[in-house]
Amino acid sequence: MIRSLKYYSVLALSVCLSLPAWAQQENPVKKVGNISDVQISDQKVLLSTDNGINAEITAYSPSVIRVRMSEQPLAEDFSYAVVAAPQQIKVNITQNDQQLSIQTDSLQARVQKNPFSIAFYTPDGRLINQDEQGLTTSWIGEEVTTYKKMQEGERFIGLGEKTGGLDRRGNAYTNWNTDAFGYSTGQDPLYTTIPFFIGIHSGLNYGIFLDNTYRSNFNFGASNNRFSSFGAEGGEMDYYFIYHTKLADIITSYTALTGRMPMPPLWSLGYQQNRYSYYPETEVMRIAQTLREKKIPADGITLDIHYMDAYKLFTWNTERFPDPLQMNKKLEDMGFKTTIIVDPGIKVEEGYAAYESGLKEDIFLKYPDGQNYAGQVWPGWTHFPDFTSEKGRAWWREQVKLFADQGIDGIWNDMNEIATWGQTMPGNVLFDYDGHLTTHKEGRNVYGLQMTRASYNGAREAMNKRPFLLTRAGYAGMQRYTAKWTGDNRSEDSHMLLGIRLLNSLGVSGVSFTGMDIGGFTGNPSVGLYARWIQLGAFTPYFRNHTGVNTKSSEPWAYGEEVTEIARNFINLRYRLLPYLYSSFYESTQTGQPVMRTLAIDYTHEPLVYSSDYQNQYFFGEAFMVAPFESTTSFGKIYFPKGKWYELFTGTVEQGGQEKILQLSYNRLPVYVKESSIIPMQSLIQSTAEMPTDTLIIHVYQGSVANQFVYYEDDGESFDHEKGEFYKRVISYDPRKKAISFGEAEGSFKSKFNHIKLVLHGFGDGGRWRLNGKSASPKSSFVSFIDPISRFDPQGVSNPIEGYNVKSIVIRNENGRFSLTY
Instruction: For residue 720, give the 3-state DSSP assignment.
Output: helix
Rounded to two decimals, the pTM is 0.95
Strand segments (E) across 89-213: 92-95, 99-103, 108-113, 116-121, 127-130, 137-140, 143-149, 155-158, 172-175, 192-193, 196-201, 204-210
Give the alpha-carbon dihedral of 522, 527, 530, 536, to 10 degrees.
-150
Q: Which residues of 752-787 are buried (b: 16+ CB within 10 A; e: fewer)?
A: bbeebbbbbbbbeeeeebebeeeebebeebebebbe
Check residue 666 and give its pLDDT: 86
pLDDT tier at 533, thresholds 50, 70, 90: very high
| Residue 817 CB partners (closer than 8 Å, separation 6+) | 741, 742, 743, 744
Q: How far, CA to CA in Å, does 768 sit from each of 676, 758, 771, 813?
A: 19, 16, 10, 22
pLDDT tier at 9, thresholds 50, 70, 90: very low
Are the CB atoms for 413 and 470 separated by under 8 Å?
yes
Q: Which of 236, 414, 442, 713 is catalytic?
A: 414
Averaged confidence pLDDT in the chain: 95
What CA–CA distance (Å, rounded) separates 139 from 231? 9
Select 678-821's CATH number: 2.60.40.1180, 3.90.1300.10, 3.30.910.10, 2.60.40.10: 2.60.40.1180
Q: What is the mean pLDDT of residues 621-629?
A: 98
Q: What is the mean pLDDT of residues 532-543?
A: 98
Give tens-digit pLDDT for 434-474.
Answer: 999 999 999 999 999 999 999 999 999 999 999 999 999 99
What CA–CA distance (Å, rounded) separates 629 from 638? 10
pLDDT tier at 71, thresholds 50, 70, 90: very high
- Could you give the angle at the alpha carbon of 519 between the alpha carbons of 514 and 520, nearest 5°? 75
Q: Which of 236, 432, 488, 714 is catalytic?
A: 488
Identify whether 488 is a catalytic site residue.
yes
Check residue 19 and give its pLDDT: 47
Check residue 23 and give its pLDDT: 52
Identify whether 562 is a catalytic site residue.
no
CATH architecture of 31-256: Sandwich (2.60)
Cis bond leading into 735, ω under 30°?
Answer: no
Give the alpha-carbon dihedral of 129, 135, 139, 145, to 10 degrees.
-30
Check residue 28 and give its pLDDT: 95
Check residue 421 and give its pLDDT: 97
| CATH fold for domain 607-674 | Immunoglobulin-like (2.60.40)
Give tens-digit pLDDT for 728-763.
Answer: 999 999 999 999 999 999 999 999 999 999 999 999
Q: Is the pLDDT of residue 799 over 60?
A: no
Check residue 175 and give its pLDDT: 98
Q: Is the pLDDT of residue 164 over 60?
A: yes
Pair type for strands 468-471 and 410-413: parallel
Is it true that 273-592 and 607-674 share their CATH fold?
no
Q: What is the mean pLDDT of residues 50-74?
A: 98
Please count the residues of the chain: 822
Q: Which of 131, 417, 565, 587 is catalytic?
A: 417
Instruction: For residue 56, give the 3-state DSSP assignment.
Output: strand
Identify whether 417 is a catalytic site residue.
yes
Give tens-digit pLDDT for 122-151.
Answer: 999 999 999 999 999 999 999 999 999 999
Give the domain ranges of the chain: 31-256, 273-592, 607-674, 678-821
Are the CB atoms for 267 and 300 separated by under 8 Å?
yes
For 273-592, CATH gives: 3.20.20.80
Give tens-digit pLDDT for 260-310.
Answer: 999 999 999 999 999 999 999 999 999 999 999 999 999 999 999 999 999
Sign of the alpha-carbon dihedral angle for 586, 587, 591, 593: negative
Q: Is the pLDDT of residue 18 over 80?
A: no
Instruction: For residue 430, give the 3-state DSSP assignment.
Output: strand
% of the chain residues with pLDDT over 70 = 95
- Could you give the angle at the alpha carbon of 403 between the alpha carbons of 397 and 405, nearest 5°? 110
Q: Is the pLDDT of residue 24 over 90?
A: no
Instruction: For residue 168, give the 3-state DSSP assignment.
Output: coil
pLDDT tier at 5, thresholds 50, 70, 90: very low
Check residue 236 and give its pLDDT: 98
Give the alpha-carbon dihedral of 212, 217, 219, 223, to 10 degrees.
-160
Q: Which residues of 395-432 are buried (b: 16+ CB within 10 A; e: fewer)?
A: bbbebbeebbebbbbbbbbbbbbbbbeeeebeeebbbb
Give tens-digit pLDDT for 667-715.
Answer: 899 999 999 999 999 999 999 999 999 999 999 999 999 999 999 999 9
CA atoms within 13 A on the CB side of 796: 0
Rg (CA), the chain: 29
Residue 528's nearest CA partner among 640, 675, 633, 418 is 633
The number of angstroms, rounded, from the C-alpha of 171 to the middle of its chain's C-alpha atoms is: 21
Q: Is the pLDDT of residue 790 over 70?
A: no
What CA–CA distance (Å, rounded) separates 65 from 734? 37
Strand segments (E) across 668-706: 671-674, 678-681, 695-701
Q: Is the pLDDT of residue 84 over 60?
A: yes
